[in-house]
Each structure stands twice: as C-alpha cells, then as structure tokens.
Amino acid sequence: MSQNIIRWLAPLVLLHSLIYVFLVPPWQHYDEPGHFLYAAYIVHGGTSAPDNLAIAREVADSMYRHHFWPPDVRPDLLSPRPPGIPTDQRHHPPLYYVVMASIIGPLRYLPVEIQLYAGRIVSAFLMTLTVLAIWRTAQTIIPDEPRMALVLAATVALTPAFADLMSAFSSDVLMNFAAATAFLGMAMLLRNGWRPTGVVLAMLGTTVAVLTKRTAAPIVLPLVLVLIWTAYRHPIRWWIYLVGGSVMTSIITVSSFTFDANGLQPRPWVALLEREYIRVQIVPWLASWADWERAWPWYWLTLEVAHNHFWARLAWGHIAVWSPVADWLVAGLSIAAIIGLLRGACTWPATLSRWQQRWMWLCLIAVIVAWVALFGRLHPLPIEGRPHIPRGRYLYWAIVPTIWLVGLGWQQLWPERWRPYTPYILLAIVAICDGAALIAIIFFYYN
C-alpha cells in the first residue's frame, strides 16, 4: 500500500513543484539572488571568499534582462564594486550553500540562469521529500486513517506560499525539509520508543535544520520534550512539568548570565553565541519584551501579516493570491481549526492513546513556540519608527504540526457522521487557492 502511494504521490508533487520552478522567472523568489550568489562565491573561492566581481555582474545583468528591477533602474556593470544585489546572505550558516555549490560547481561555465534552475530543481526534489515525510508522519500517528494522511500531505504540497518558497534557490528549502524529517523522527520516537530510525531522523533532522538557518533553532525545544517523553513513557503529573521547567530555567539562567555593576550581563559563551549565531544581544532583547504597551500593536500587525504570508503571499510578498478572498478563506480555516481543537480536546483522553495525546501536545507546543519566536523577531523594538514585520516563512519549520492541527481541528468541527468527508473539503479549498496562485503568477509576470 505504502509503495503504491509513493509511486503516484511523489511524481505528482514533483510535477507540481516543477511548475512553480519554471513558471516563476529567474531571481523573482524571496532573496533568491543573494542565496545564489553565496553559493556561487563558494564555487569560485570557498566559504570565506570575497565578492567575485565577474559572477556578481553576470547575475545583475541577468536580473536586469529578466525584469527584476523597474524599467528605469539598471545596474552599473562597469563599477569597480559589485552591483547592488539584494540581499547578502553570508551572515547565514554555510551548510546549505556548500551543498548547493557542489551542485552548481560543475555548471559554473554555463549561463547563470541554468545554474539557478539546477538549484531550483534540487529544491523541487526536496519539496517532494518534505511532502512524503509529512505523509509518513501522519501515517505513523493515525495508521487507521490513510485518507487523512494523504489529505494532510497534499494540503502542504498545494499551499501556495509554501510551494512557491520550496521551488526557490533558498536555504529555507533545506531547513524546512530537515525540520519535517525531524518531526517524522519525533513521531516515531513517541510511538515506538528508542528505535534507531526514529532517533536518527529526529536528531539528524534537527541538527541539519539548526545548522542551515537560525530561524530553526526553536525546534530544539520540541525535540527535548520528545526525548523526555520517550525516556519516560508513563504518565507525568502536571506539577512535575512545572518544577522541572522551573529548575531547568534556573540552571540555564545561572549558567548563561551574571550580574556586575552594569546589571545583567551574558557570560562569555553566550556572548560568543550572540555574535556568531543568533546575531541579537539577548539582554536588551529580553528587556524589550517588557514594553507591552509599545509591542502590542505590532503583535497584532505581525499576526495578520505572517498568517497571510504563510498561506497566500508569493515571491517577496508582493504577489497576493486572490486577495482578499484567499485571506478570508485561510483566516476562516484557522479559526475553524481552533474551534474544532477546543471542541475535540476534551475527548483526547478517551479516544487517543498516551503517545498520540503527547503528539497532540507536541504539535500545540511547537506551534506556540514558533509564533512566540516569530514575535521575538520584533525585539528589541527600535526607539523610533516601525520595526521589521516578520513574514510567515519563519513559521515553516513548524509546518508539520501546523498542518496537523489545522487538519484535525477542521475535522473535529463537523458532526461525526460527516468527518470522513470533511478533509476533502479542506483539500479542495487549498487546491482552489493553489490554482489562483498559478493564475496570479501568470498575470503578474506574463501579462
């Protein structure tokens, strides 16, 4: 059964991803020029190589020929400095770019567009593997509902903004695939205990995700929780979580910070982490959270912007899918899912095994952590002016628990006799949005 599903599901997902690969003109994905240039610089000189003027000029010329800039803007290809190409990605960890350098390296004497599309095709394959990982995760948790597993996998494959990003030359692609693999391993750990497959997938997926992008760092918390649950498969009383969380927080605080005449200061290892990885000073960041009066309006705006961009904003966010209808549809889906989860949560102890209940709690915690981390990108708030509003792509490391909760909540909203059919309604709504996204791309770029 599984092999038959993979035989038709994988080619369909790959074909769908390739449509996005070749429908979107070169360089039009979010930060795609910067991602490509980082890998190209590695090809021509290694991870610490300076700007390569020749390759930067070739990319800038290609961007101009493919109408990346407005008609009255043309890069200066004769300047002794590299053209102004957005956005330099060399502050990110190099793992993804080293991998992609090995892909485009043999193609380095071909036009940069061919190299770009080669990287995009790799992304399409990773998108296919991501969808298969989500299908396998759902099959692991609910083996008796194969239709639901297919619907959840297809929903992810057809989510417009996710499909758009996962067909790009972008480090987000590897991070999202690794995170989906990690959640598959976590599901296996919760169900089967210390089996090698679950351990390897969870640990390797988390490691690759964190080493690919800093935005995946919050996935460590769900992993730690799963390891605790796997080590102790019996019920755990609520006060143990409270005491354990308090003790762990105290240990982390004492080992991470110290007080001196200037107040709270990070210890040397935290200062190194701030400088080399997270690129944010933790003490001012923590202090900024206390300014609720200033932060609250930005939280509401971030909620709206990130939710819309999670589902129905393409490219750099400037292509809206069937706006505002698609925005209303996905907002309605989210609200319906929340109501359905509240309605069905009281039945979990009676209808789900302990490890299935823990998976549900894991998904809830992961989604909450993802949103808190997203709001954290607003901090520290600027003294004056508008902070940078983070987009929904920063939530994609948690797309597995997000889609799981949306699918289950949507199903729980309906009367029990209708529930076998309601996942197809969800899939139909997302498929309509996907069709609208493809039409929007055609009209935006080719009209």
DSSP assignment of 370-430 equals HHHHHHHTTPSPPSSSPPP---GGGGGGGHHHHHHHHHHHHHHHS-GGGTTTHHHHHHHHH
Q: Report pLDDT digits (tens) over 123-140.
A: 999 999 999 999 999 999
Q: Which among 393, 92, 378, 366 has a CA at the least distance from the CA of 220?
A: 366
The answer to whether the beta carbons of residues 337 and 429 sit under 8 Å apart is no
Where helices occur in 1-106 by DSSP H, the ranges are: 2-23, 32-45, 53-65, 95-104
Q: Which pLDDT tens digits describe the chain residue by residue (447 residues)?
A: 566 777 889 999 999 999 999 999 999 999 999 999 999 999 988 767 677 888 999 999 999 999 998 888 888 888 878 888 888 888 889 999 999 999 999 999 999 999 999 999 999 999 999 999 999 999 999 998 888 899 999 999 999 999 999 999 999 999 999 999 999 999 999 999 999 999 999 999 999 999 999 999 999 999 999 999 999 988 888 888 899 889 998 998 888 888 877 778 888 888 888 877 877 888 889 889 988 889 999 999 999 999 999 999 999 999 999 989 999 999 999 999 999 999 988 888 888 899 999 999 999 999 999 999 999 999 999 888 889 999 999 999 999 999 999 999 999 998 888 888 888 999 999 999 999 999 999 999 998
Task: DSSP letter for 166, please.
Answer: T
Strand partners, 265: 258
- The backbone torsions φ and ψ at residue 46, rounded to the nearest 5 degrees and listed phi first, read 100, 175
Q: Which among 343, 362, 35 has a CA at the least distance from the CA of 202?
A: 362
Which own/partner pairs from 196-204 qualify as long-range (CB within 8 Å, at least 24 positions apart)?
202/226, 204/178
User: What are the DSSP calls for 283-344, one per residue?
Assistant: HHHHHHHT-HHHHHHHHHHHHHHHHHHHHHEETTTTEESSTTHHHHHHHHHHHHHHHHHHHH
pTM: 0.95
